[in-house]
């Protein structure tokens, strides 16, 4: 493969390692994060219950005060009643006292209601406070226990970030942008190895989505430095290490090697039609120059490519 694709594969591998370490840290810290959320929720509920309790207490106090004032008023009316000058005045005080008593009874009910609410609220606050203490203690233990492990994983991530960034900087800018876009779309899997499912047949598929690929995909990747995309999932294709030309080629029907067109010389490696050509071109005594040119046009592009770097 050309330098751009080699750099991309290096970036891909370093990036996958970094992502795996990050995922491990996320998984390891998940329990702590869940517990932290539980403690935060309880803290909030405790705060709200406490504030409601304070409100109800203050309301109860106000009603109690009101009741006291009314009691005093009734006492006053009673003493006035005792000193009534005549029966009519006496009856007037009586009516006023009775009205006050009815009002007082309503307020007593109200006070009752507030007292009950205060009692419920106090119990709730106490319960939440106990729960909070238990969960907070659990969180502290979890943080202590996982602290060393999480720190270790974080260290690993920091260490992996260095080669990843180096590999990133080694990729030409255009290809790098493409890598980033695809990595975002495919959760890091910007690249896909081509795979040859049947050893005896020269057929390739995208190992990520299993799409059949055009037969000359191997040559394109092997001999040229351009990005080749899977026509289905659009991932950048690459040749995996376990698929060298020796393995990619099936040797039953040796094909005559093609001549290198002049236009290709000095540019990229020769345009070869199949992996057989790649193999032939690698053999020391390849009759490349001797054979007559039968340059086959590139297979129609179901694979898109962009030129590597300008
Ligand atoms: Zn694909």
Mean pLDDT of 137-165: 94
Lowest mean per-residue pLDDT among 51-65, 139-153, 219-233, 263-277: 263-277
What does the pLDDT read at residue 82? 92
pLDDT tens-place string over residues 97-111: 999 999 999 999 999
270 pLDDT more than 70:
no
CA of 206 to the centre of ligand 1 (A): 5
Q: Which two tokens stand for residue 18?
A: 């970094």
Q: Cα dihedral angle (180, 186, 192, 195), rounded to 10 degrees?
A: -170
Overall average pLDDT of the 24-41 stretch: 93
Mean pLDDT over 275-280 rounds to 58
Average pLDDT in the 252-267 region? 48
Q: What is the pLDDT of residue 309?
A: 42
Residue 208 CA to ligand 1 center (angstroms) comes to: 5
Is residue 283 over pLDDT 90?
Answer: no
DSSP, residue by residue, 50-115: HHHHHHHHHHHHHHHHHHHHHHHHHHHHHHHHHT-SSHHHHHHHHHHHHHHHHHHHHHHHHHHHHH
Distance 213 CA to ligand 1 centre (A): 9
- What does the mean pLDDT of the chain come to? 85
CA 180 to centroid of ligand 1, rounded, Å: 17
Q: Which of 45, 16, 23, 1 is nearest to 191 (CA)?
A: 16
CA of 165 to the centre of ligand 1 (A): 26
How high is the pLDDT of residue 107? 94
Angle between helices 87-169 and 3-82 (to 10 degrees): 170
Neighbours of ion ligand 1 (CB under 5 A): 206, 208-209, 211, 230, 232-233
């Amino acid at each position: 493969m050309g330098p751009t694709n080699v750099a991309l594969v290096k970036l891909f591998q370093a990036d996958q390692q970094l992502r795996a370490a990050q995922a491990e840290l996320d998984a390891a810290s998940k329990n702590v994060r869940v517990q932290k959320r539980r403690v935060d929720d309880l803290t909030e509920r405790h705060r709200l219950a406490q504030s409601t309790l304070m409100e109800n207490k203050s309301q109860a106090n106000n009603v109690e005060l009101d009741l006291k004032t009314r009691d005093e008023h009734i006492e006053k009316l009673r003493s006035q009643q005792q000193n009534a000058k005549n029966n009519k005045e006496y009856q007037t005080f009586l009516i006023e006292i009775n009205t006050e008593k009815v009002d007082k009874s309503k307020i007593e009910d109200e006070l009752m209601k507030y007292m009950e609410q205060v009692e419920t609220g106090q119990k709730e606050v106490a319960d939440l406070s106990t729960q909070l203490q238990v969960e907070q203690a659990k969180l502290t233990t979890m943080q202590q226990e996982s602290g060393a492990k999480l720190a270790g994983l974080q260290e690993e991530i920091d260490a992996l970030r260095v080669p990843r960034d180096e590999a990133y900087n080694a990729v030409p800018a255009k290809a790098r942008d493409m890598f980033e876009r695809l990595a975002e779309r495919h959760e890091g899997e910007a690249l896909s190895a081509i795979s040859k499912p049947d050893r005896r047949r020269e057929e390739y598929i995208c190992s990520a989505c299993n799409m059949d690929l055009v037969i000359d995909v191997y040559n394109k990747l092997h001999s040229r430095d351009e990005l080749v995309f899977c026509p289905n999932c659009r991932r950048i294709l690459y040749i995996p290490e376990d698929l060298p030309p020796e393995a990619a080629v099936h040797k039953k029907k040796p094909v005559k090697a093609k001549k290198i067109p002049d236009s290709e010389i000095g540019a990229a490696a020769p345009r070869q039609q199949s992996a057989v050509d790649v193999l032939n071109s690698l053999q020391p005594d390849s009759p490349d120059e001797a054979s007559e040119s039968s340059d086959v046009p590139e297979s129609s592009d179901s694979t898109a490519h962009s030129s590597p770097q300008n």
